[in-house]
Amino acid sequence: MAMSKEANGSLQVMQNVADNLRLARLQQGYSQEVLATRAGISRRMLVNIEAGESNASIATVDKLASALGLSFVDVVRPPSSSDKARALPLRIWQGEQADSHASLLESVVKPGVTLELWRWQLAAGDSYHAEADAPGCHEVLYVLQGSLQVQLAQQSHTLQTGQSLTFASDQVYSYHNRDAVACAFTKNILMYPHGTQSAE
Amino acid sequence: MAMSKEANGSLQVMQNVADNLRLARLQQGYSQEVLATRAGISRRMLVNIEAGESNASIATVDKLASALGLSFVDVVRPPSSSDKARALPLRIWQGEQADSHASLLESVVKPGVTLELWRWQLAAGDSYHAEADAPGCHEVLYVLQGSLQVQLAQQSHTLQTGQSLTFASDQVYSYHNRDAVACAFTKNILMYPHGTQSAE
DNA sequence: GTGATTTGTGCATTATATTTCACAGACTCC
DNA sequence: GGAGTCTGTGAAATATAATGCACAAATCAC
């Protein structure tokens, strides 16, 4: 993948910027309009850059990188270097305690569906309250260490190390580590554009 | 080091580009004029970029990177990432045999003097003939593996593993590996602007 | 000292990146 | 069907990157 298009004066770097920006933008769920506004540039420019047809300036690329929470180098980096072990982790959540954090490890974006792999960690006694995800979203948890209580709207589940749980996340929910040791777990999120999927 | 100057709209990236370009240019002994010509840009532009006062385009930075034998990322990279383990090795020499090559590991550029650390490797039976360095240059060799014969204008030295040699390199000289195994050695070069130093 | 080379600055000119708008196609939702 | 959002394209206007030249200051060679 990531073959160059060789338009007019299309440099390899331009194509890297184009690919990296588009990928990161879709991963974070921004439209061109939103991202362009956040970055303080025109949408027209963003279109050109994502098409690999614009020889942007350093400042412009930097604005976009910042708006996406990426470093300049991340945006410019060719896919060849550290290919799949990408610029991710992104969207890191850092709790008040040092041992409480979460990071996005992988992200697969397809036309109809998006899959994200997260790694979570909760310090002893800590908890996390989440808002409802988009309609149709499902989460699949797998506890690596310690124990985890998942509080849903109507029910509650307590998972021990090695146990897993699937639940619809289009509702408010929360994670609780009521144990005395840190809890680590992986979390897969399956998301759909709007509500395109039927129940299983 | 490498504090930002905060001129007009000086981004951190601009300063990185400025620092990296100037360092690489001096390391390779180019004047602004020469580098600008090789890169196909105006010297005026190069002056601005090296001063961190110009918001250059991707294409311009890429031209400069190519002219210096560097990748785009190398030029943009902040000094913080892999700080001293820099973009180097540069100026790689590759012999006809795969085991014969040399690379520049470190380079310290000061107003009056430049020190370079190289790592050389010569395949069994291979040799390398060097032109005279600038007047006043000295080399310090240290053999890591195998044996090395250094042929100077008036004399010849044969070094075994662990032995070292200092000699004035402002004369033609050559390295010979007359052994049956590959030879590796480090080489420090001490250079002066023109001939500013007195003999010891 | 003079002469040559390198580097930094100011300014007018040219090239082009960037903006703003208006519009068309593709898609989802109602 | 129409109304909505998202995305790509075109063209004119504007901002600015990039050029070229002339000149001053510093450094090194002689």
d(CA A105, CA A186): 10
Q: Do B78 and A81 touch (CB under 8 A)?
A: no
* Predicted local distance difference test score (pLDDT) of residue A49: 93
d(CA B90, C1' C11) / Å: 39
To the nearest 10°, report the CA torsion of A71, A72, A78, A83: 0
Could you tell me if B78 lies within 8 Å of chain A, comparing CB atoms?
Answer: yes
Chains A & B: contacts with CB separation below 8 Å: 50
pTM: 0.57
pLDDT digits (tens, 9 = 90+) for B53-69: 889 999 999 999 988 87
Q: Are B150 and B173 in contact (CB under 8 A)?
A: yes
For chain A, how many helices (H) and strands (E)? 5, 10
Q: Which of A183-197, B80-94, B109-123, B149-163 has the lowest mean pLDDT?
A: B80-94
Q: Which residue is nearest to nucleotide C8 (CA to C1')?
A: B47
pLDDT per position as a tens digit, B86-143: 444 454 677 777 678 787 666 655 444 565 767 788 888 888 988 777 666 777 777 7
Q: Which of A191-200, B59-68, B170-179 has the lowest mean pLDDT?
A: A191-200
Question: Three-state DSSP class for B177?
Answer: coil
Is residue B104 within 8 angstroms of chain A, CB to CB?
no
Using a CB–CB cutoff of 8 Å, tell me whether A7 touches chain B. no
| A159 φ/ψ angles, rounded to the nearest 5 degrees | -110, 135
pLDDT at residue B192 above 60?
no
Task: Determine the Cα–Cα distance for residues A168 and A145; give it in Å rounded to an integer.
Answer: 23
For residue A63, the chain B residue with the least C-alpha distance is B11
Which of A:119-158 have CB within 8 Å of B?
Answer: none
Across residues A95-112, what is the average pLDDT? 65
Give dist(CA B168, CA B172) in Å, integer: 10
The nucleotide minimizing the C1' distance to residue B53's CA is: D17
3-class SS at A45?
helix
Instruction: Tell whether B80 is within 8 A of chain A (Cβ).
Output: no
Tokens of B13: 């990236």
